[in-house]
């Protein structure tokens, strides 16, 4: 099942022209700089703005097509706005139940108790909304959205205005919700960090156009996109906790291309985590190094090389199919005689745990 | 008691007129104010000017046209006669019509401002939570515009209490039917009966003050609540 959208929005200084589809599962992020049309597109998808000639379908349901335009309140969608936008005249419970009450009983699939517990809003239910902190407000807003039993949740930069700690907290809640209820999320963001942490699928936007769509691992490693050229270029890798090394306080994680050892994580064996490998933290060797302090080494095949400035190149590697980027000097690439197909060992100086 | 039975009857008529006028205005103008607060119609300002006219026109001008319209030879008067009724001039019903027009801006403007202050966002949120347009209006727009309703009701009521010129023009001064407090005061002064004039005038001042204090007090509390 997938979600397909086609819109052409002409604004005074701006043309948005998009045609794309995303899988109706997991978290898809509409990613691009501020002002590239992400919010306009999300509003068109929600039906908050009626864009004549647009096309939008979720699975086999057409929400907009030709003359058909299903008004927002008849679309089974949820929308989390940049500001929590809670109703000030209702208490927290009133807010959470607002959408729920409007869903016919047979269509109510989620247990409100369960989702309130999951979002940790149960202790807040009797509170007035103007007594909540920013993070609490956004949690209530997400719970309210979920309670209306949406088939898809749209989120428009829901972390705006929160401090870093709160951001991570809300992201963790969004991921927990995603795992528990399996509702597809379309998330608008201009923050690479947020994308790294939650995106499964990426829709890359710039100046009103779609530059690329695809799996986040794949898009990050595409040398023809500006993401890989950026000095912050990195890939994300999903791995599974396999064992804990008590003696050295390390946790071992496995991904298809090899293993990682990270300082002890308080996670159960079998837990899924997301790791980030920055391209500038990867060095390459022809032979497997033994006399090195680096623990995280895995074999890879060079797939492509592209220049990155005058002195450096960016190398796309495949670790058993998992894309990895390495940013090294042009001189090193020449010395190693790197070319597509070369077998090299990737050494990761640092591995960041994202979730 | 310093109020004569005629004065009490004038106060009762005034009160009845103000209550009816306020209710009718709230019912009739809420949709108008809602529409005016949200429309992007380019000529909205013309309608706003028309609504504001009673603010600036001398009441005698309003009263004069109403008299012409409602009297036996006016279009409304003829229509009333044709359907077996009687002309509305010099009746309580005519007074109500006059008051509705006279106090129109005092009800429409606070409502329009209150609806505009609600903004589109809460209504969009409600739409994404499955609320139909009518549902959104009653469960989101009206509760959030509540201070505007209080202001509109009190201002409409208080302004009708103080009505004089329009009433004089179209209501005449029929005791027990169209003689309102403001006109009774005028009569007392004409007859140099200052004592009764004082009593009626004092009551109007007291009632108006209390009502306005309620509005300002309520709006202040509301602002505190929002901050």
Residue B146 has phi, psi (to 5 degrees) of: -55, -45
Q: pLDDT confidence of B1, banded at 50, 70, 90?
A: low
Mutation target for A interface from B118, B125, B135: give the one with most A CBs within 10 A. B125
- Report d(CA A34, CA A207) in Å as an integer: 9
- Closest approach of B131 to chain A, Cα-based (Å): 6
Mean pLDDT of A72-91: 94
pLDDT in tens, A180-214: 888 999 999 999 999 999 999 999 999 899 999 99
For residue B136, which residues of chain A lie inside 8 Å, CB to CB?
A: 73
For residue A102, which residues of chain B lie inside 8 Å, CB to CB?
A: 129-131, 135
Largest CA distance in chain A: 69
- Token digits for A242? 């396999």
Interchain contact, B130 vs A48, CB within 8 Å: no
Q: pLDDT confidence of B226, banded at 50, 70, 90?
A: very low
Predicted local confidence at residue B221, as pLDDT: 62
**A89, A179, B151 from B146: Cα distances, Å:** 10, 41, 9
Q: pLDDT confidence of B123, banded at 50, 70, 90?
A: very high
| Structural domains of chain B in order of their starting residue, each with its CATH number | 5-226 (1.10.3720.10)
Mean pLDDT of B42-48: 92
Mean pLDDT of A113-119: 88
The answer to whether residue A78 neighbours chain B at the CB level (below 8 Å) is yes
Predicted local confidence at residue B222, as pLDDT: 56
pLDDT above 60 for B165: yes
Q: pLDDT confidence of B87, banded at 50, 70, 90?
A: confident
Select the more confidently predicted residue: A250 or A111: A250
pLDDT above 50 for B227: no
pLDDT in tens, B166-225: 888 888 788 888 888 898 999 999 999 999 999 999 999 999 899 888 878 877 765 544
Mean pLDDT of B14-39: 94
pLDDT in tens, A262-291: 999 889 999 999 999 999 999 999 999 888
Minimal Cα distance from B129: which residue of A?
A99
pLDDT above 80 for B2: no
Predicted local confidence at residue A254, as pLDDT: 96
Minimal Cα distance from B226: which residue of A?
A130
Closest C-alpha to A194, from A157, A146, A228, A227: A157
Work out the mean pLDDT of chain A and round it to a whole number. Answer: 92
Q: pLDDT confidence of B162, banded at 50, 70, 90?
A: confident
Predicted local confidence at residue B223, as pLDDT: 55
Mean pLDDT of B125-134: 96
Interchain contact, A85 vs B122, CB within 8 Å: yes
Whether residue A239 contacts residue A255, with contact meaning beta carbons closer than 8 Å, is answered with: yes
Work out the mean pLDDT of chain B and round it to a whole number. Answer: 89
Task: Give the containing element (helix H, strand E) for A56.
Answer: strand A55-58
């Amino acid at each position: 099942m997938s979600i397909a959208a086609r819109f052409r929005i002409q604004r005074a200084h701006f043309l948005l022209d998009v045609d794309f589809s995303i899988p109706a599962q997991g978290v898809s992020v509409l990613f691009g700089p501020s002002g590239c049309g992400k919010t306009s597109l999300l509003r068109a998808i929600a039906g908050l703005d009626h864009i004549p000639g647009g096309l939008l379908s979720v699975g086999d349901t057409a929400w907009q097509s030709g003359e058909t335009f299903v008004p927002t309140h008849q679309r089974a969608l949820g929308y989390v706005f940049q500001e929590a936008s809670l109703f000030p005249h209702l208490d927290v419970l009133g807010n959470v139940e607002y959408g729920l009450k409007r869903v016919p009983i047979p269509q109510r699939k989620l247990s409100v108790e369960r989702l309130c517990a999951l979002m940790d809003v149960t202790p807040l239910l009797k509170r007035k909304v103007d007594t909540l902190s920013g993070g609490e407000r956004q949690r209530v807003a997400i719970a309210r959205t979920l309670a209306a039993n949406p088939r898809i949740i749209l989120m428009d930069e829901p972390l705006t205005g929160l401090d870093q700690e709160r951001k991570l907290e809300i992201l963790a809640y969004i991921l927990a919700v995603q795992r528990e209820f399996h509702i597809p999320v379309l998330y608008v963001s201009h923050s690479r960090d947020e994308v790294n942490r939650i995106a499964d699928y990426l829709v890359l936007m710039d100046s009103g156009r779609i530059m690329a769509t695809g799996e986040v691992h794949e898009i990050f490693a595409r040398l023809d996109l500006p993401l890989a050229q950026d000095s912050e270029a990195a890939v994300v890798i999903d791995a599974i906790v396999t064992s804990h090394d008590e003696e050295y306080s390390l946790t071992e994680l496995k991904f298809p291309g090899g293993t990682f050892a990270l300082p002890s994580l308080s996670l159960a064996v079998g837990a899924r985590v997301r790791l980030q490998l920055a391209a500038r933290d990867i060095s390459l060797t022809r032979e497997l190094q033994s006399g090195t302090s680096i623990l995280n080494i895995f074999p890879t095949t060079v797939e492509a090389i592209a220049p990155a400035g005058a002195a450096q190149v960016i190398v796309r590697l495949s670790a058993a199919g998992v894309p990895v980027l390495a940013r090294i000097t042009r001189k090193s690439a020449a010395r190693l005689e790197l070319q597509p197909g070369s077998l090299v060992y990737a050494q990761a100086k640092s591995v960041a745990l994202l979730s | 008691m310093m109020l004569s039975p005629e004065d009490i009857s004038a106060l009762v008529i005034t009160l009845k007129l103000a209550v009816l006028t306020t209710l009718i205005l709230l019912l009739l103008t809420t949709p108008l104010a809602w529409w005016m607060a949200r429309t992007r119609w380019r000529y909205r300002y013309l309608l706003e000017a028309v609504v504001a006219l009673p603010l600036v026109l001398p009441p005698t001008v309003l009263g004069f046209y109403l008299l012409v319209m409602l009297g036996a030879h006016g279009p409304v008067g003829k229509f009333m006669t044709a359907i077996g009724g009687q002309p509305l001039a010099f009746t309580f019903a005519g007074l109500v019509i006059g008051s509705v027009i006279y106090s129109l801006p005092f009800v429409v403007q606070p409502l329009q401002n209150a609806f505009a202050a609600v903004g589109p966002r809460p209504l969009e949120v409600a739409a994404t939570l499955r609320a139909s347009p009518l549902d959104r209006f009653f469960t989101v727009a009206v509760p959030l515009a509540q201070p505007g309703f209080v202001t509109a009701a009190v201002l409409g009521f208080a302004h009708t209490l103080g009505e004089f010129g329009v009433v004089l023009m179209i209501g005449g001064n029929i005791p027990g039917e169209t003689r309102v407090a403001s006109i009774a005061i005028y009569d007392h002064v004409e007859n140099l009966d200052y004592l009764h004039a004082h009593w009626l005038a004092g009551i109007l001042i007291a009632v108006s003050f209390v009502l306005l204090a309620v509005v300002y007090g309520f709006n202040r509390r509301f602002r505190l609540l929002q901050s």
